[in-house]
Amino acid sequence: MDTIIIDNIPLTIDEDGFLELLRIRTNSRQADEFVRLLTEARDIAKPKAAFRPSYIENSDKDSLTIEGILFSSRVLSINLEPSHVVFPFLATCGREIEEWARTIQNTLHSFWVDNIQLMAFGCAVSALESHLKRITGTTTFSSMNPGSLEDWPLSEQVPLFELLEDAPQEIGVTLEKNMLLAPLKSATGIQFVSEEGFTNCRLCHREDCAGRREPFQSHLLQEKYSL
């Protein structure tokens, strides 16, 4: 199937909520400075996403083949076992806002702008998820991302880029030699329908992770995945 590009994504941010998150007092000089930067960012930012509806062709306990491309991961293979069609994806804050962020010299402003970039990335992910729910008619999506688990390392971004064909270039994302993405506020992964739901956090040992959404469930490693 063809890869679908989503590139008309607005940077939508709850201004008051963001001020509170960054501990900036409303009606202060800092608030005025932040609003000025946010206004610039809204004009510049072009978050983007891409995905490709893809068929699973075969799988075993440690790997699976999607559209002729091999992926090596026991957790991925088991999670996608009930699926026939999956949605490899790429989401990014966009090169435009990253390039603008490099021009900010003030340390505090750089911190604010880094958070604005994260919000732009979040807008791309939200647009992707909304699009998938609309075209499939289901809301029970989960995702896996290379590098989030030892069982599916960052090097697995290579076959993902191969599967997404020209989409990374079209939305301005490159895979560096160290397997990191540029722009940095970007992510790859596979979205899939899952009635029971899945998050990487369930199998992640990192207790100090600021992005943790669920507790580590050690029993799953042996009971479901035999790891």
Average confidence score pLDDT of the chain: 91
Q: What share of the chain is helix, strand, coil (3-state, %, to 5)?
A: 40, 20, 40
pLDDT above 70 as % of the chain: 96
d(CA 126, CA 222): 33
Backbone angles phi and psi of 94, in degrees to 5 = 100, 145
Pick the CATH number of 4-199 from 3.40.109.40, 3.30.420.310, 2.60.120.20, 3.40.50.300: 3.40.109.40
Encode pLDDT of 99-147 as tens digits: 999 999 999 999 999 999 999 999 999 999 999 999 989 888 999 999 9
Q: Are 221 and 102 in contact (CB under 8 A)?
A: no
The H or E element containing residue 69 is strand 69-72
Encode pLDDT of 92-101 as tens digits: 999 999 999 9
Q: Domain residue spans in the chain?
A: 4-199
Encode pLDDT of 8-26 as tens digits: 999 998 899 999 999 999 9
For the segment 186-212, the average pLDDT, to the nearest whole number, is 80
d(CA 37, CA 202): 37
Q: What is the SS3 assignment for 200?
A: helix
